[in-house]
A and B are shown apart, each in its own frame.
Chain A
Amino acid sequence: DAKTTQPPSMDCAEGRAANLPCNHSTISGNEYVYWYRQIHSQGPQYIIHGLKNNETNEMASLIITEDRKSSTLILPHATLRDTAVYYCIVRPTNDYKLSFGAGTTVTVRA
């Protein structure tokens, strides 16, 4: 599986957009980019996924570069409840498992 690289931590001001980067320079053509987050003491929660087009849902937007070697998860208006560990995962089409790395610990401050 392609490996992802994320910053270990980042802070964000409440009400501002949070932009979480992820590098996946060895991604293959059949691999999707997934984002999950894990709030303290809870199980991981799905946020969004994409192949090559930008995606948006009620939680976030996913921007994937044209060469697909990196992506950015955007939380448009961060709230204190968005404080969590955010995981960027690259997953092949025919694979069933999610390979979690260390993720980015995002702290939203009032």
Chain B
Amino acid sequence: ETGVTQSPTHLIKTRGQQVTLRCSSQSGHNTVSWYQQALGQGPQFIFQYYREEENGRGNFPPRFSGLQFPNYSSELNVNALELDDSALYLCASSSDRDPHTEAFFGQGTRLTVV
């Protein structure tokens, strides 16, 4: 186990709805990144949060947004869900003390949009 926990583990939503996914980072880690993994593909970077601010973003539309809280936990929000948003959403935590420290991933949230 990595110490990174995500909730919920599975979720089914209807197209057009909004969803919030949660991530608790590993103790001592102040940076959280979110990834989307479609079936059969590698994870794709959505964005990273550091000190409660977005610190970089991948090629995802603005309806993907996030938050980081003072305790370094994080949320991923997706508005106006589309069928193609169905994927495994992964959270990874790391520390800024060493830019090359490993990132620890959670088990992911499996989102199905119907």
Q: Is the CB of A100 within 8 A of B42?
A: yes
Q: Would you give the 0/1 interface string for A41-64, flagging 1 where the beta carbon is closer than 8 Å to chain B? A: 111111001000000000000000
Interface majority SS on A: helix, strand, loop or mixed? Answer: loop
Q: Which residues of A contact B58 (CB under 8 A)?
A: 97
Determine whether B92 belongs to the interface, using a CB cutoff of 8 Å to chain A.
yes
* A interface residue count range (under 10 / 10 to 19 / 20 to 34 / 35 or more): 20 to 34
Establish whether residues B105 and A97, one from each chain, have CB atoms under 8 Å apart when the complex forms.
Answer: no
Assuming the A-B contacts A96-B31, A97-B33, A97-B48, are A46 and B103 also in contact, with contact meaning beta carbons closer than 8 angstroms in the complex? yes
Contact among B43, B56, B99 for A100, CB-based, below 8 A = B43
B45 & A98 in contact (Cβ 8 Å cutoff): yes
Binding site for A on B (CB under 8 A): 2, 4, 31, 33, 35, 41-45, 48, 55-56, 58, 90, 92, 99-100, 102-108
Chain A residues close to B by CB (< 8 Å): 32, 41-46, 49, 85, 87, 93-94, 96-103
